[in-house]
Structure 1
Amino acid sequence: MMGGQDRHPGWPAKTPVAATRAGGVRLRPLSRRDGRRWSEYRIADEAQLRPVEPTVQGDWADAHSGQMWRRNVTGLLDMARQGVLAPFAIEVEGQFAGQLTLGNIQHGVVSSCWIGYWVYSGFAGNGVATAAVGLGTDHAMRYIGLHRVEATVLETNTASRRVLARAGYREEGRLVRNLHIDGRWRDHLLVGLTVEETGGGVLAGLQRSGILPARLR
């Protein structure tokens, strides 16, 4: 189930399936075939995504066209082959539901990466994002072999802050004007998690606490 290269263990790979109220959730390598759903879902969720994501120049629909998808996915897969990034599709019962990326992968004395994700609103409120973050964090630590995973999040993005907190991420500080979001430079909170804090794994902790079901019903 797990595969990869010596310089990039854990890629390409599919994760185990996590139970949620929406059904089974897993991560799998992002594919060029995901473009139609990616465009459809991103365009439909402009009102939710634009205020929390890096600034898009021009029209939102143009920025999420098939042509832009092909450009984006080519770049992501190239970086995955270089071992610096792991781009995943989030699946719910085999259907594309969003995207999760492990980026700036560094081994050696740094041994860390960042995690970023989005989930289509049609799957929201069912634990999908929480499961995806749990699966992604476990994958980064167990199979890519990293010691630390971190994320940045807008202070006003309460939904994402809740997801990260449930997965065990600690707030570590504030990054001042570090990302250009929706037309202006915005502060972000820095959150992090190290392998020593995860016990038997993030997903297992979410299941033990009852945040996620232990098995599919």
Structure 2
Amino acid sequence: MAFWRRSPAWPVVLRDDSFTDPPGGTLILRRLVRRDRDDWMDVREHNADWLDRWEATLPPVLPGRHPGGRSRSAPTFGEYVRLLDGAARDGTTLPFAIELDGELVGQLTVSSITYGSMCSASIGYWVSEHVAGRGIAPTAVALAADYCLFELGLHRIEVNIRPENAPSLRVVAKLGLRDEGLRVAYLHIQGRWCDHRTFAVTAEEVPGGLLARWRGQQ
């Protein structure tokens, strides 16, 4: 943890200028900001059927009790951005907007960043259906994983996916992440506890970087 405290690297911009999948262009991971509100709301609205079934939800709590003493009401977009920035400054999260040639097309979050004897983090992501299948999600995951493994000094990155989420399973398959098995009732999704499969990669498995390995497979 001390490493992060000495060098709070936020905001961070990660980019791939060699994004070659037609029609090509530049893929950027950057901080989500307040002025993204309209674009973010628009892409979420147009992808409701595509994304909502995979969205995490808060489990029920006992009457009169709230997790952490906080309200369960949904934050405004401005509050959401502020919460993300706070977590990033604390060093526990890296919340990125995914941008392709200036268009906001998704989001990627590195969460549960832990140093000490574990040195690990978890990556979650979503992309708009109209750009799915073009290599955007695996490229974004590879960019973020390489930053965590070789800039932040983490050892292990994991991705947790619902077994029935075929598009997301294709992402980790393309990247060659190791399947570590099933986590039973791992996350609360759309009102119920759902199983997830865990996929992971360590720094030793990709000495040249996950992005380079992914590019070599294309």
TM-score by length of 2: 0.84
Where has structure 1 moved over 6 Å in runs of 4 or more?
none
Q: Distance in 2 between matches of 1:35 and 1:141?
A: 31
Give how far 1:183 is off: 2.1
Letter of the 1:177 counterpart:
A
The within-5 A match list for 1:7-18 is: 7=6, 10-17=9-16, 18=18
1:151 Cα shift?
A: 1.4
Corresponding position of 1:42: 44
Unpaired stretches in structure 1, ≥5 consecutive residues: 58-64, 211-217
Instruction: Please report how far the alpha carbon of residue 93 of structure 1 lies from its aligned counterpart in structure 2 after TM superposition.
Output: 1.0
Deviation at 1:191, TM superposition (A): 1.2
Structure with bigger RCO (C-alpha 8 Å, 6+ apart): 1
Report how far residue 83 of structure 1 moved: 0.8
Task: Give the drift of 1:180.
Answer: 1.4
Q: Which has the larger radius of gyration?
A: 2
Distance in 1 between residues matched to 2:25 and 2:134, nearest whole Å: 9
Provide closer, same or farther for how the CA distance between residues 147 and 14 of structure 1 changes in structure 2, counting only shifts above 3 A: same
Displacement of 1:141 after TM fit?
0.8
The answer to whether the 8 Å contact 2:47/2:128 transfers is yes
* Equivalent pair of 2:54/2:190 in contact (CA under 8 Å): yes
2:19 matches 1:19: yes
- What percentage of aligned pairs have identical amino acids? 39
For each residue in 1:59-95, what CA deviation from the matched residue of structure 2 results, as whole angstroms up to 9, or x when unmatched? xxxxxx9x62112111111111111111111110122
Residue correspondence of structure 1 range 1-217 to structure 2 within 5 A: 6-7=5-6, 10-17=9-16, 18-21=18-21, 22-55=24-57, 68-210=76-218
Partner SS state of residue 141, structure 1: helix
Q: Deviations over 1:100-148 (max 9, x none)?
A: 1111111121100100111111222211111111111111111222110
What is the alpha-carbon distance in structure 2 between the residues aligned to residue 190 and residue 163 of structure 1? 13
Q: What is the aligned length?
A: 199
Per mean C-alpha deviation after superposition, the further-off stretch among 100-109 and 20-29 is: 20-29
Normalising by structure 1, we get a TM-score of 0.85
What RMSD over aligned residues (CA atoms) do the two structures have, in Å?
Answer: 2.1
Give the unaligned 5+ runs of structure 2.
60-73
